[in-house]
Structure 1
C-alpha cells in the first residue's frame, strides 16, 4: 500500500445512504472519508426511481391519448417516437444525476477515496492496492444490485436488468419481463403502453408487493386485462436465437406456446452489495443470505463499531428509507461509542403502476403473525369502481383494505391498488406514525369531490367492523354527493 491514513469514520459507498451518513457523521467529527468504487450518483437518480418515473410519465401520456375518446375527445393518430421518448428520459435523468454530482463535488477531495474497499480486519480497510484506512467506525452503504439465475447468462446482451433499459436509444418491438414485483410491473406496464409487446412471467403467484390475498387477486385480475401476465408461469425453455430470444411456456389452456422477443428483462430481485467486502475477515453475525445482521433502530451490526445503511442492510430498498438509515448510521458512527436509537418511520411504499399500489404500516401478513388469522384484526375496505371523483376521471379501478385493532381501535396498516394511491398512502402513513385510532381519523376533514372520499368509506367500514361505529348505510352517499 502506498498510502496509510487514520480516520474516525469510514463510509463505504456514496449513494443516498452514504451521502446521508457523511452529512450526519460530519456533525461530530471532521475525520471522515467516503470510499466509492463506481461512478458517483445514486441508484435512484441513475437507474431507479427517477428514470423509471420518466418512462412511466411518457407511458401515461400515451395512455391518456388512447383514453380520450371516452370523454368524447378524438385526437389524431397516436404516434410514439421511441427515440424522442428515450432522449427526454436520458436528458432529464442526467439532470437529476447532475444534482447528486454537485453534492458530491462539494465534499473536499481529501475526504474522498476512489477504489474498492474490503476489510483487512475489524478496524482496517484496504482500498484497491493503493490505500490502507484505519477507522474507528465504519458505515457500509454499498447499495444493492439486480440478481437472476446464472443460467440466463447464455442470453448475452439479449438479457437486461432494469438499469439497462435507461440506456436504450429507442424502443424495441417486444420483450419478456421476468418478475411481476415492483420493478417488473412498473417497467412492464409502461413499456406496454409505449407500444411494446410485453409478456410477463412470475413464480409462485406473487403480484406486486402485496400480502393481502384479496388485494393481490384484484391487482392480478386488472393487470391481466391490459397485458399478458402469468404470475405462476411454467416456462419450459428459453434460448437465444440470433438477436432474439425464444421462450416456450405452458399457457392457461395447458398447451405449450412459443414466443420470440427482442429482449428478456430480469426483474427477479436485488441482492445487497456486501459479498465483496471481505466480511470473512470479521467475526460478524450474518443472516441466512450472508449479509451482516443489523439492528433496525441503531443500524449496528454484532461488531458495535460497524454500521450498515440503505439497500445494503437488506431491509426496505426505498430511497427515503436509505436516507433515514444513512442519517442514523452516520450519526451513531460519528458519536460512537455513544449510540442512539434513531427515529424509524412507519412503513410507506408506493408502486407507480396504474392504478398505483401502496403499502402502509403493518402488512396483512405481519398482522396475521401478530394477531393470528382467526379474526384477530378488523378489516374495512372500499372499491373505487363507483367512487365519485374516480368515475369523473374515468380512473375508477381499485381496492383499498384497512386494518384495525379491536378494543383500542388503532389503525394498524393498509394495502391498496387505487387511483392516486401515493396520496392516500401518505395520509395513512402520517396517521399510522401518529398512532391515531380509526375514530380520530374520521374526525379529519374530507373535501368533495376527491379520491380521498374512498378512504373515508373504508374508514367508516372499518369503524363499524371494530364495533365502534354504526354499520355502513347507503354507500351511494359515499361515492356520489357526499354527506
Structure 2
C-alpha cells in the first residue's frame, strides 16, 4: 500500500473543498484534495447553473406568449425540446469545464482521485490502495438528492437533478414531488416550455416562503401555471407503458391519482457521509448522522476534523459553501500549527428562488409570536416600475425591532434577487429603517418599493 503524509486532507473537490484546500495551502499547510468524481461542483454540474439555463429557456417562451400585454403580437411559439436541452448541456459543460481546469492546474501531489474512508482519526484509506496520514482533515463531500420511498420502484422513470438535465427531450408531462426552491423552479420552467406539470408537496408553503399572505400569493401565482397540490402525500407509485401512476392523498384526506411521463424527486438532499466510515474517527455524531460541529469554527467535536459545505446540512447554498470551505481550510491549518482557530460570526442568511416572480427569505425568520417586532408590508400590484414591466405581482414583508433596526424579511416579486441583497446588507450592518430610507433611490425602479416599506416601518409605533 502506498503511504503518504499531509498536514491537511480535504475530502471532496466541490465548492467547499476547493476553497478549503486553497485556504489551507495559503496558510502554509501541505494539503491534498481528494475527489471520487465526477467533480465540477454541484452548482455548475447539476444545480444552480443548469437549472437557471432551463429557467431562461422557459422565460423566453413565456415572454413571447404574453407579449400581447404590450401590443406585441407573436402568432406562434414553438418549443424545440432537444434544442433547449442541447444548449443547456453545452453551457453547463462550459461551466463545469472551467472548474475542472482549475483542478487540473493543481500540482499532482496536491490532488488524488478515489473514494476516501477514515481508518482512524489521523489516517485515511483511498480505495484501499493509498494510506494518508494527516494532522487535520476537512469533510467537504457535498450532498445527493433524496428519492422518497414510494418512488424507488420506478427505476429510470424517476428523475433527480443528477439525471434531469441528461434527458434527450422534454417529457410530455412531469410530476414534481416538492415545492421548495428546486422543485418550483424546475416545475415553472417546464410548464412554460409546454410540459404538463403537477406539483405535490406535503407542506403548506411554496418556494420557502412562510409569511402567510406571501405564501398564499405564491400558491395562487404558481398554481395558475401548473397543477399545484399542497398538504398532499404520495402513497404509492407504479410504472407502466405510458409512464408512471402516482397514488396520493390530498389535504382533505381524499384519494387522488396522477399520471405522468416522468417524475422528478425534489424533496431535499442528504449529506454524502455513507462511505466515510466516521465510526473510526471518534467524532460525536448527531441525530441526523452529521458530526456535531461548531457553526463558527466548523471544527467537529472529538477529533481534528472540520466539516464544510452542503455535507453539514446547515446552509446548503454556494456562497455559504465557499465561505465555509475557506474558514475550514484556514482553521485546519491553524490546528496543525497549534494556533487558535477563527470563530467568525455567521453571515446573515439569504435564500433565493429564481422563479417568476422571484422569492427570497432574509435574516431572522418569520415569527408571528414575537410581539416586539414591527412588520412593514408592501404589495407590488400598484408599484410603478413593476406595472410598467407587467410584473406587478407579489409583495414584501420586512420586520424590525422596536428601535426600527432591520431584522429580516420575505419577498415575492420582480427584481427580488437585487432587493434581497440590499436588505441582507442592511440587516448585516444592523441598519435602521430610517438609515435605509435616507439613501438615494433612482426613479422609476422597484427599489422605490423598498423605500416605501421603510417609510411604513418608521411610522409604526
| Other-structure match for 2:349 | 347
Offset at 1:433? 1.2
* Cα-to-partner distance string for 1:370-394 (whole Å, 9 max, x where unaligned): xxx1512110010101100000000
Q: CA RMSD in A?
A: 1.5
Residue matched to 1:150: 149
Please name the residue that 2:273 is paired with.
Answer: 274
| Partner SS, residue 154 of structure 1 | coil
1:257 Cα deviation from its structure 2 partner: 4.2
Partner of 2:322: 323
Contact in 1 for aligned 2:5/2:134 (Cα 8 Å): yes
> More deviation in 290-299 or 244-253?
244-253
| CA positional deviation for 1:248 | 3.3
Equivalent residue number for residue 103 of structure 1? 102
2:46 paired residue number: 47
For the residues of structure 2 that align with 1:123 and 1:235, how far apart are their CA atoms?
A: 45
Cα pair 1:404 1:462 within 8 Å, conserved: yes
- Scaled by the length of structure 1, the TM-score of the pair is 0.92
Corresponding residue of 1:423: 418
Matches within 5 A, 1:178-257: 178-250=177-249, 256-257=255-256
Match of 1:400 among 382, 396, 400: 396
**Would the aligned equivalents of 1:381 and 1:457 in 2 still touch at CA under 8 Å?**
no
Deviation of 1:424 after TM superposition, in Å, equals: 0.2
For 2:303 and 2:212, how far apart are their aligned partners in 1? 40
Partner of 2:371: 375
Asked whether the equivalents of residues 8 and 29 of structure 1 are also in contact (C-alpha less than 8 Å), the reply is no
Structure 1: segments with no counterpart, 5+ residues: 468-483
The 8 Å contact of residues 307 and 333 in structure 1, kept in 2 or not, is answered as yes
Are 2:386 and 1:390 aligned?
Answer: yes
- C-alpha deviation, 1:250, in angstroms: 4.8
TM-score (norm 2): 0.96
Note if contact 2:415-2:446 (Cα within 8 Å) is conserved in structure 1: yes
Change (3 A) 1:313 1:452: same
Deviation at 1:252, TM superposition (A): 7.7
1:70 aligned partner: 69
Aligned mates of 2:329, 2:254 — CA distance in 1: 56
Hey, what's the Cα distance between the residues in 2 that align with 1:250 and 1:302?
43
- How many equivalent pairs are there? 458
**TM-superposition CA deviations, 1:111-163 (whole Å, max 9, x none):** 11111111111111111111111100000000001112234221010011122
Give distance in 1, aligned partners of 2:249 and 2:27: 60
Instruction: Out of 245-254 and 33-42, give the one that drifted further.
Output: 245-254
* 2:155 paired with 1:160: no
1:435 aligns with 2:430: yes
Separation in 1, partners of 2:102, 2:387: 44
1:118 equivalent in structure 2 = 117
Q: What is the CA–CA distance in structure 1 between the aligned matches of 2:308 and 2:366, rounded to whole Å?
A: 26
Deviations 1:37-57 (A, max 9, x none): 111200000000001000000
* Superposed CA offset, 1:405-425 (max 9, x none): 01x221000111111100000
**Superimposed CA distance per residue, residues 315-359 of structure 1 (whole angstroms, 9 cap, x where no aligned partner):** 111000000000000011112232111353211121001100001
Residue 32 of structure 2 corresponds to residue 33 of structure 1? yes
Structure 1 residue 67: Cα displacement: 1.1
SS, match of residue 59 in structure 1 = helix
Instruction: Pick closer, same or farther for the CA change 1:27–1:255 going to 2, 3 Å.
Output: closer
Counterpart secondary structure, 1:26:
helix
Match of 1:481 in 2: none
**Which residue, out of 401, 404, 409, partners 1:409?**
404
Where in structure 2 are there 5+ consecutive unaligned residues?
none
Q: 1:180 and 1:136, CA in 2 relative to 1: closer, same or farther beyond 3 A?
A: same
**Structure 2 vs 1, CA of residues 404 and 239 (structure 1 numbering), >3 Å: closer, same or farther?**
same
Equivalent residue for 1:362, pick from 364, 379, 396: 364
Partner SS, residue 97 of structure 1: helix
Moved more, 224-233 or 237-246: 237-246
Does 2:452 align with 1:453?
no
Look up the SS of the partner of 1:206 in the other structure. Answer: coil
Q: Structure 1 residues 280 and 69 mapped into 2: Cα distance closer, same or farther (>3 Å)?
A: same
For residue 251 of structure 1, report the CA deviation from its aligned partner: 5.8
**SS of residue matched to 1:33:** strand
Q: State the SS of the aligned residue for 1:409.
A: coil
Q: Deviations over 1:421-470 (max 9, x none)?
A: 000001111111111111111111111110111111211111222x2xxx
Stretch moving more, 429-438 or 282-291: 282-291
Structure 1 residue 236 displacement after superposition:
4.6
1:332 aligned onto 2:331: yes
Superposition deviation, residue 238 in structure 1: 2.0
Distance 1:271 1:88 in 2: 29
Contact in 1 for aligned 2:24/2:30 (Cα 8 Å) = no
